[in-house]
Amino acid sequence: MAVRVTQTMLNNNMMRNLTNSMGRMDKFQEQLSSGMKFSRPSDDPVAASRAMFYRSSLIENEQYQRNVNEAQSWLELSDKSLDEAGTILQRVRELAVASGNGGLGPDSLAAMGKEIAEIRDHMGNIANQTVGGRYIFAGTDTVTAPYDPNDGDGKFTNANGNEILLEMNKGIQLPINVIGQDVFNFTGKGGQNIFDLLQKVVNDLNSGQPVNNELGRIDEQIDNLLAERATLGARMNRIDLIKGRLENEEVSVTKLMSENEDADVAQVITNLKMQENVHRAALGAGSRIIQPTLLDFLR
């Protein structure tokens, strides 16, 4: 059965189609002006959900990179401090070897004692090294100085052996500090930590006694420092690898986010021009659909 098409139906269909055509042109114009494929989640719910995921991934990545940078600051300063401690211990060893020279008198030995006393005080400064106002060799008690120069001849008083953990990536937590107990309170076979050993060396030299018999204990402390630096170096290498992976992940996620959100300007311009031509054609067809009036015949 044939359906009767009225003028009102033609007019309504024409207006609806023109409205839809202008809506598509508006969409392309908005994409062109904003540079984005969509401006509201309702425009493309799937792409909007992916955009939220990519943005949250980037935020996590940025936080992990900040953690890695902080860890590198701690570990690099710790490595430099241990390197400095090893250097001054080598100087103590040189002086201990030289003290075995039988031609040296009490004054020469006392002069060596004064130099080693200064080295001992400097070792205390290294033990109290800070980064951002926090003591790096104090375990998790970063607000209390681990070395107390006013405790007798100076003591390493910190007994906190806890690690400071930072999350470098999802599920990966690494310590960023060197345990000061393992470095400055290491006793070895001699039963004396590094400060007690240096103080004994100073006392013996001040009393006119050579200290070349302490070389074994000094070497123990040097070997312990080297072992701690080796462990620290392995951790720094791993953090460098994690940092590289985070940077690569940032580039990949940023690329995916751009592909998901950013409009292809050339394609949008082409679509807009095509839609303009379609709209002009629709207007031309609509002008023929509208029923002529008496005024059209009076022209």
Q: Quick one: CA dihedral 73, 86, 175, 184, positive or negative?
A: negative
- Calpha distance 93→57 (Å, rounded): 53
pTM above 0.85, yes or no: no
- Tokens encoding 49: 């959900």
Average pLDDT over residues 230-253: 94
The residue type at 166: L
Band (146; pLDDT cuts 50, 70, 90): very high
The residue type at 65: Q
Residue 172 φ then ψ, to 5°:
-115, 110
Instruction: Give the pLDDT score at 180.
Output: 92
Ranges 51-55, 160-164, 231-235: which has the least confidence: 51-55
Instruction: Give the pLDDT score at 19.
Output: 78
Q: Which domains does the chain have, with CATH numbers?
A: 53-256 (1.20.1330.10)
Instruction: Give the pLDDT score at 90.
Output: 96
Instruction: State the DSSP H helix or E strand holding residue 287, giving kind and residue range, or none if neither.
Output: helix 265-289
Indicate if the pLDDT at residue 200 is higher than 60.
yes
Instruction: Give the pLDDT score at 284.
Output: 74
Indicate if the pLDDT at residue 212 is higher than 80.
yes
Q: Please report where in the chains the tokens 């001992």 appear, as a residue.
A: 120
CB 202 within 8 A of CB 121: no
Indicate if the pLDDT at residue 17 is higher than 90.
no
Per-residue pLDDT of 78-133, as tens digits, reads 999 999 999 999 999 999 999 888 778 888 999 999 999 999 999 999 999 999 88
Indicate if the pLDDT at residue 294 is higher than 70.
no
Which residue from 8, 36, 7 is spatially nearest to 268, judged by alpha carbons? 36
- Calpha distance 39→52 (Å, rounded): 13
CB 61 within 8 A of CB 253: yes
Instruction: Give the pLDDT score at 23.
Output: 74
Instruction: Give the pLDDT score at 118.
Output: 94
Torsion of CA 192, 195, 200, 202, to 10 degrees: 160
Q: Please report where in the chains the tokens 């508006």 appear, as a residue.
A: 26
- Calpha distance 250→54 (Å, rounded): 10
Distances (CA, A) of 196 to 126, 154, 176, 184, 284: 16, 9, 27, 10, 100
Which residue from 128, 98, 102 is spatially nearest to 201, judged by alpha carbons? 98
Residue 21 or 182, more confident:
182
Collapsed DSSP state (helix, strand, coil) of residue 173: strand
Instruction: Give the pLDDT score at 189.
Output: 81
Instruction: Give the pLDDT score at 149.
Output: 87
Indicate if the pLDDT at residue 258 is higher than 60.
yes
Indicate if the pLDDT at residue 31 is higher than 90.
no
Instruction: Give the pLDDT score at 13.
Output: 75
Average pLDDT of the chain?
Answer: 86
Q: Which residues contact 60 (CB under 8 A, 6 or more apart)?
A: 170
Q: Please report where in the chains the tokens 């994690």 appear, as a residue.
A: 242
Indicate if the pLDDT at residue 134 is higher than 70.
yes
Band (33; pLDDT cuts 50, 70, 90): confident
Q: Please report where in the chains the tokens 């100085």 appear, as a residue.
A: 145
Average pLDDT over residues 179-188: 91
